[in-house]
């Protein structure tokens, strides 16, 4: 199927990240190249964009859509958790702009064979990078019931996590669970009818939890956030678009910590926590899509954008 992905919060990304001619930008989740296609003209002349993605199909789609920009763009099959290593291997010490558009893409959701969607019949897969071995089927059929309950609770924030895990464990004793629809039916059976009548699709949180666990999404995000100080030039901007509270919490706490917020107990005569000011917030609170964007693209409704800037001087940010 064609790789179609509508970039979320595009106008806001351009406004807050302010790409300028001659700058070096990284789109750490290039997808089909939607954000990159809008950023690149603002980097010219003289600028470059490095696009990363762990999905080979995304890289191929971006290569086609960004071909008009020629040598101004370089696309790399890589996980953004390896950001510093990948950039250094290409001769880049630091960059002026960095964008993360987290979560699963519309293409991955809409392509049945990828197994991300609870709306279509598909093999239980959910791998963002097909080179890895771990799949949703492996987790669902082989992980202990207690571990299943843990990830569904922690990564899906699902109140019925223990019950869902118990139903999965019982079902797999009879036959392997191999398709998305099989799993959806088990989840629906596990959640009481009254709880299924309101809110999101009953399988949404469990599918989110499995996807996060399979792809190590939160660990990768935390690893990337730890590299911001090293990878951003003075004055460089970083923007992160998240789609659920677990992602946003990691970004928020990282930005707070790197902004030098003192964590000493109240009443101490001097600061002893040693926090350094590396970032300053550009957005004081998360930026969310306008009603018009949500109407045109309902999947944008949960998006949150946070942006911060690398300070020029650690003490005063000037």
Query: Tell me, what DSSP letter sits at residue 6?
Result: P
Does residue 258 sit within a domain? yes
Note whether 96 and 223 are same-domain residues.
yes
Residues making up the annotated binding site for S-adenosyl-L-methionine are 33-35, 53, 80, 101, 108
Bridge partners, 179 (sequence order): 123
- pTM of structure: 0.91
pLDDT digits (tens, 9 = 90+) for 219-261: 999 999 999 999 999 999 999 999 999 999 999 999 999 998 7
Does residue 193 sit within a domain? yes
Note whether 103 and 221 are same-domain residues.
yes
Question: Which residue segment(s) compose the domain that 262 sits in?
Answer: 10-107+217-310
pLDDT digits (tens, 9 = 90+) for 73-104: 999 999 999 999 999 999 999 999 999 999 88
Which of 215, 242, 263 is the last residue before a domain boundary?
Answer: 215
Note whether 121 and 210 are same-domain residues.
yes
Note whether 228 and 264 are same-domain residues.
yes
Does residue 5 sit within a domain? no
pLDDT at 273: 67
Structure tokens at 22: 């001659």
Structure tokens at 208: 């989110």
Note whether 102 and 142 are same-domain residues.
no
From residue 291, how far is each of 6, 159, 297, 301 by CA, in Å?
16, 30, 10, 8
Does residue 162 sit within a domain? yes
Does residue 174 sit within a domain? yes
Does residue 317 sit within a domain? no
Note whether 148 and 275 are same-domain residues.
no
Write the DSSP assignment of 115-151 as a string of letters: ---SSS--BS---SSTTS---HHHHHHHS-HHHHHHH
Does residue 316 sit within a domain? no
pLDDT digits (tens, 9 = 90+) for 278-314: 999 999 999 999 999 999 999 899 999 999 999 976 5
pLDDT digits (tens, 9 = 90+) for 128-176: 988 889 999 999 999 999 999 999 999 999 999 999 999 999 999 999 9
Phi, psi (rounded to 5 degrees) for 288: -115, 160
Instruction: Name the nearest CA neighbour of 28 among 67, 84, 93.
Output: 84
Does residue 94 sit within a domain? yes
Give me the number of domains the chain comprises.
2
Residues making up the annotated binding site are 33-35, 53, 80, 101, 108
Which of 192, 215, 238 is the last residue before a domain boundary?
Answer: 215
**CATH code, 275:** 3.40.50.150
Note whether 182 and 223 are same-domain residues.
no
Cβ–Cβ under 8 Å, residues 177 and 141:
yes
């Amino acid at each position: 199927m064609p790789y179609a992905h509508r970039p979320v919060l595009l106008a806001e990304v351009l406004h807050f990240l302010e790409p300028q001619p001659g700058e070096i930008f990284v789109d750490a989740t290039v997808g089909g190249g939607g954000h990159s296609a809008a950023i690149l003209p603002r980097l010219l002349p003289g600028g470059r964009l490095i696009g990363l993605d762990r999905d080979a199909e995304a890289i191929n789609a971006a290569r086609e859509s960004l071909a008009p920009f020629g040598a101004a763009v370089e696309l790399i099959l890589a996980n953004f958790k390896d950001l510093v290593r990948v950039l250094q291997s290409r001769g880049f010490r630091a960059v002026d702009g960095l964008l993360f558009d987290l979560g699963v893409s519309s293409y991955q959701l809409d392509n049945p064979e990828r197994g991300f969607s609870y709306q279509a019949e598909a093999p239980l897969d959910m791998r963002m990078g097909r080179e890895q071995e771990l799949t949703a089927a492996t987790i669902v059929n082989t992980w202990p019931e207690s571990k299943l309950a843990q990830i569904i609770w922690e990564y899906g924030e699902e109140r019925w996590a223990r019950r869902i895990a118990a139903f999965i464990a019982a079902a797999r004793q009879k036959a392997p669970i191999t398709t998305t629809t099989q799993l959806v039916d088990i989840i629906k059976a596990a959640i009481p009818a009254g709880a299924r009548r309101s809110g999101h699709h009953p399988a949404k949180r469990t599918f989110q939890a499995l996807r996060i666990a399979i792809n190590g999404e939160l660990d990768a995000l935390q690893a990337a956030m730890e590299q911001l100080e090293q990878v951003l030039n003075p004055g460089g901007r970083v923007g992160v678009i998240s789609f659920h509270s677990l992602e946003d919490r990691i970004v928020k706490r990282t930005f707070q910590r790197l902004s030098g917020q003192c964590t000493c107990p109240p009443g101490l005569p001097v600061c002893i926590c040693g926090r350094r000011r590396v970032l300053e917030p550009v957005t004081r609170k998360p930026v969310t899509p306008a009603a018009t964007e949500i109407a045109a693209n309902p999947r944008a409704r949960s998006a949150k954008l946070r942006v911060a800037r690398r300070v020029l001087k650690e003490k005063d940010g000037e």
